[in-house]
Amino acid sequence: MRKAYAMEYRHPTEERSSIEMVPYSPEFREAYRKIYNECFHEMREALDIKPYDFIQDDSFFESGMDVVYLLTAENELVGSVALKGDEIDDLIVNRKYQGQGYGKQILLWAIEHMSTEKIVLHVSAWNENALRLYKNMGFEVTETIIIG
């Protein structure tokens, strides 16, 4: 599907995150690049959004990383999320850790650390697992966006 959804956090959950995340650190640059590209490659290819591996070079890291937070375990990158104003963006989980609840924990952490009352995010209709998670956690579709 070449659709995406804008979603807003309208049904707050009582659940709380059990993780601690830390600000992005350049020591995780290569791990972040690898995991970010792995997480979005299949979707970008299915939707024919080029380049399929979005992070092509180090210029990606020159700005905007001050809003990125990392979840690490024993010096390995588990996942990350960006908090951009009122938007939760680029929530990713290392494939090694997918299916273990880390996406939900990162989302809960992000919600708890947002500094705005209104919280939004965007998700491709292609990413059914993320869409289901966001709906289950209290997000509601507010707009359908056609990609392309």
The ranges assigned to domains in the chain are 3-146
Q: What is the pLDDT of residue 47?
A: 81
The pLDDT value given to residue 52: 84
DSSP state of 80: E
CATH 3.40.630.30, domain 3-146, yes or no: yes
The pTM of the whole model exceeds 0.85: yes
Q: What is the pLDDT of residue 48?
A: 83
Q: What is the pLDDT of residue 131?
A: 96
The reported pLDDT for the residue numbered 136 is 96
Determine the pLDDT at residue 119.
98
User: Which residues does the chain have with pLDDT short of 50?
Assistant: none
Do residues 3 and 148 make contact, with C-beta atoms less than 8 angstroms apart? no
Cis peptide before 26 (omega within 30 of 0): no
